[in-house]
Chains A and B, each alone.
Chain A
Amino acid sequence: MYRYDEFDRDFVNQRVSQFEDQVRRRMSGELTEDEFKPLRLMNGLYLQLHAYMLRVAIPYGTLNASQMRKLAHIARTYDRGYGHFTTRQNVQFNWPKLSDTPQILHELADVEMHAIQTSGNCIRNVTSDQFAGAAADEFADPRVYAEILRQWSSLHPEFLFLPRKFKIAITGAEQDRAAVQVHDIGLQLTRNEDGEIGFVVFVGGGLGRTPMVGCKVRDFLPENDLLAYSEAILRVYNRYGRRDNKYKARIKILVHETGLEELKQDIEAEFEATKNGILDLPNEEVVRINEYFAPPSFEALPKISTELEAAKREDRDLALFSSRNLHAHKAEGYTSVTISLKPIGGAPGDATADQMDVIADVAQRFGHDELRVTHEQNLVLPHVKLQDVPTVYKILKANELADSNAGLITDMIACPGLDYCALANARSIPIAQEISKRFEEVKRQNEIGDLKLKISGCINACGHHHVGHIGILGVDRKGEELYQITLGGSADQNTSIGKIIGRGFPEAEITDAVETVVDTYLANRLDEEESFIDAYRRLGDQPFKDALYGA
């Protein structure tokens, strides 16, 4: 785990004290709201429909038990007893008082957490694979580079007032679980022919009102050049990115309007001027940070746990949980456990303070004190012995945390939508709940198999609907909520933007429409092995259109 040093501590404490003073001056009237708003946003504090909302950073989604307990404590003491885990692997509290926020930030600083750069036109939390450092299919831990990027981008003086926000994601496995191609910069760790580590670099991906898949700008960027090249991209964006229209201010628009080749030349020219300088990544620094992320000392265990296998034979629910919520680990006898925050009929990504405490306890007892937040709004215990899975499952089940639906249709992403968000046009959570209830039956969900359903309550696309195999976008049509369906989106290594299938559906009809889409897939798939997305890519949208709107 990365060691928070005295510089981090002093810096965060200074920022909390500054913010405390800013809040005091706002309350006394020394600062107007116009003056205060950018200051509070720099500290992750928004004003939403019902109250303020505080977004707390969880760098690359990695946290430990004491940090999770602190989040539980904040939820219980300063909020309404729950938190909401987000697609940026962060956590949001929906009801804090302005007057309490300095104290909340002090408490977070006690466990080496903060809310810096979770908002505003700066480089946001770098996201990564939730199974980083654990996955069997990974060849390098992406968190090492995510941490290097975090240190470089934290309060980088040149990049605090970018044309718009800037998001970076990194993955270290072939299977992209971090949606890197829909980020401003997407990094895929790779090796060259000489076995050296480097990155495939994508630029200009993004969702929102103009969804775009990132363009590959480098097949192999040497590890040593990571920061110099990132700085070159940011510098070109900062110089040429549009500031006249916030809807055209992201780097994806710059790529589109300038043209990839010209922009690549600009980046390479800037890189030439930047490289071999202060931003060269010293090998000893990479080694040092690698040590922070050294895996726990795993025991030598058999590949298959007889305890788990016996328990699975006794308990079909455990067998089902194991088939969906366990991910192959690089150490034999270990697994990564996905804790679904998608109970049937629940709000995706929400966890109560009590549940957070339970999860922290489990992480400490059975998971080497490590937890992850996934961009799909679940939590993960990355390192659990297979033999401990029955006990972990039992504890999770007793706390309503053992839904065996990882990757299934009820494991959907949904933004907070109009129930909380000041930007939303339509509600997301009730739609998610209704669909979840419709597909509640375990057998049916498993028969459908892997399916990513993603719901956004407005075009800003926090719910990633563009890259859902089935995407749902809520819009406002003359005061009524209307839901558009997109099909064929994907956020993995074969990223694609979903296509709008036709006219939207009112709230009362959208769940039926989703069911029609799913039934059409089931009726047309080649066999059980053909997933929804594969079937859609083979069939095109016509069968789905016919089923939804008539031939």
Chain B
Amino acid sequence: MKTITANRLVDGDVVWLGHNGEWVEFVEAAWILNTDEDMTSALDFAKAGEDKQYVLGTYAIDLELKDGHLQPKSLKERIRAQGPTTRLDLGKQAERHLRSA
């Protein structure tokens, strides 16, 4: 399983490619790519995102199932998806908390 990630140009925020080519702010809303066809379409969307100056540095990452939840496989990508492990008040983990409050 893979998905596409990038940083948003205007503020550098971490984003992932959504199902319809939109860019989402939380990894759980990302488009999970299971086939080569999905990946080809996703890469087209990613390039379009860069061409429109919405995102930069798009690339594919591996996902894995952990305790019933999908998460990025590498620690680096998990930290991008959550925020600094030493500052739970910053990054996605904090935004997620704020939104659910």
A interface residues, Cβ below 8 angstroms from B: 26-29, 33, 47-52, 80, 95-99, 347, 418-420, 424, 427, 429-430, 433, 476, 479, 481
How far, in angstroms, from A99 to B11 measured CA to CA in the complex? 7
Question: Is there contact, CB below 8 Å, between A50 and B12?
Answer: yes
Q: Given A47-B56, A419-B86, A430-B85, list of 17 further CB < 8 A pairs?
A: A26-B53, A47-B7, A48-B12, A49-B14, A49-B79, A49-B80, A50-B13, A51-B13, A97-B11, A99-B10, A99-B11, A419-B85, A419-B87, A420-B84, A424-B76, A427-B86, A479-B73
Contacts of B52 in A (CB 8 A): 29
Q: Given contacts A33-B57, A50-B91, A479-B74, are A97 and B86 in contact (CB under 8 A)?
A: no
How far, in angstroms, from A420 to B53 measured CA to CA in the complex? 24
Query: Does B9 lie at the interface of the complex (its beta carbon under 8 Å from any beta carbon of A)?
Result: yes
Main secondary structure on B side of the interface with A: loop
Question: Is there contact, CB below 8 Å, between A418 and B79?
Answer: yes
User: Which of B12, B57, B86, B87 is in CB contact (< 8 Å) with A51?
Assistant: B12
Question: Is there contact, CB below 8 Å, between B9 and A50?
Answer: no
Query: Does B83 lie at the interface of the complex (its beta carbon under 8 Å from any beta carbon of A)?
Result: yes
Candidate in A47, A49, A427 with the most chain B CB atoms within 10 angstroms: A49
How far, in angstroms, from A95 to B52 measured CA to CA in the complex? 23
Q: Given contacts A27-B53, A28-B53, A29-B53, are A98 and B11 in contact (CB under 8 A)?
A: yes
Contacts of A479 in B (CB 8 A): 73-75
Write the B38-69 contact mask toward A (1 if CB under 8 angstroms, else 0). Answer: 00000000000010110011000000000000
How far, in angstroms, from A96 to B7 measured CA to CA in the complex? 13
How far, in angstroms, from A481 to B53 measured CA to CA in the complex? 35
Contacts of B70 in A (CB 8 A): none
Question: Is there contact, CB below 8 Å, between B12 and A418?
Answer: no
How far, in angstroms, from A80 to B91 measured CA to CA in the complex? 10
Query: Does B29 lie at the interface of the complex (its beta carbon under 8 Å from any beta carbon of A)?
Result: no
CB distance from B80 to the nearest CB of A (A): 5
How far, in angstroms, from A47 to B9 measured CA to CA in the complex? 10
How far, in angstroms, from A234 to B56 measured CA to CA in the complex? 35
User: Which of A49, A98, A418 is in CB contact (< 8 Å) with B10?
Assistant: A98
Contacts of A80 in B (CB 8 A): 90
User: Which of B9, B12, B74, B76 is in CB contact (< 8 Å) with A27?
Assistant: B9
How far, in angstroms, from A51 to B84 measured CA to CA in the complex? 12
CB distance from A210 to the nearest CB of B (A): 24
Candidate in A99, A427, A433 with the most chain B CB atoms within 10 angstroms: A427
User: Which of A26, A52, A96, A427 is in CB contact (< 8 Å) with B85?
Assistant: A427
B interface residues, Cβ below 8 angstroms from A: 7, 9-14, 50, 52-53, 56-57, 73-76, 79-80, 83-87, 90-91
How far, in angstroms, from A261 to B37 measured CA to CA in the complex? 61
How far, in angstroms, from A48 to B50 measured CA to CA in the complex? 18
Candidate in B11, B12, B52 with the most chain A CB atoms within 10 angstroms: B12
How far, in angstroms, from A276 to B13 measured CA to CA in the complex? 53
List of 10 A-B pairs having minimum Cβ-Cβ separation, nearest first: A51-B12, A419-B84, A97-B11, A52-B12, A29-B53, A429-B86, A33-B56, A49-B80, A99-B10, A50-B91
Q: Given contacts A419-B84, A419-B86, are A47 and B57 in contact (CB under 8 A)?
A: yes
How far, in angstroms, from A28 to B79 measured CA to CA in the complex? 30
CB distance from B21 to the nearest CB of A (A): 18
How far, in angstroms, from A27 to B11 measured CA to CA in the complex? 11
How far, in angstroms, from A362 to B84 measured CA to CA in the complex? 31
Question: Is there contact, CB below 8 Å, between B10 and A27?
Answer: yes
How far, in angstroms, from A33 to B8 measured CA to CA in the complex? 12
How far, in angstroms, from A378 to B85 measured CA to CA in the complex? 23
Candidate in B50, B86, B90 with the most chain A CB atoms within 10 angstroms: B86
How far, in angstroms, from A33 to B90 measured CA to CA in the complex? 26
Question: Is there contact, CB below 8 Å, between A97 and B10?
Answer: yes
Contacts of A427 in B (CB 8 A): 85-86
Q: Show 25 A/B contacts (Cβ-Cβ < 8 Å), sorted by A.
A: A26-B53, A27-B9, A28-B53, A29-B52, A29-B53, A33-B50, A33-B56, A47-B57, A48-B12, A49-B79, A50-B91, A51-B7, A51-B12, A51-B13, A52-B11, A97-B11, A97-B12, A98-B10, A98-B12, A99-B10, A347-B87, A419-B84, A433-B86, A479-B73, A479-B75
Q: Given contacts A28-B53, A29-B53, A33-B57, are A47 and B85 in contact (CB under 8 A)?
A: no
User: Which of B10, B73, B83 is in CB contact (< 8 Å) with A50?
Assistant: B83
CB distance from B50 to the nearest CB of A (A): 8
How far, in angstroms, from A479 to B66 measured CA to CA in the complex? 15
CB distance from B61 to the nearest CB of A (A): 13
CB distance from A165 to the nearest CB of B (A): 22
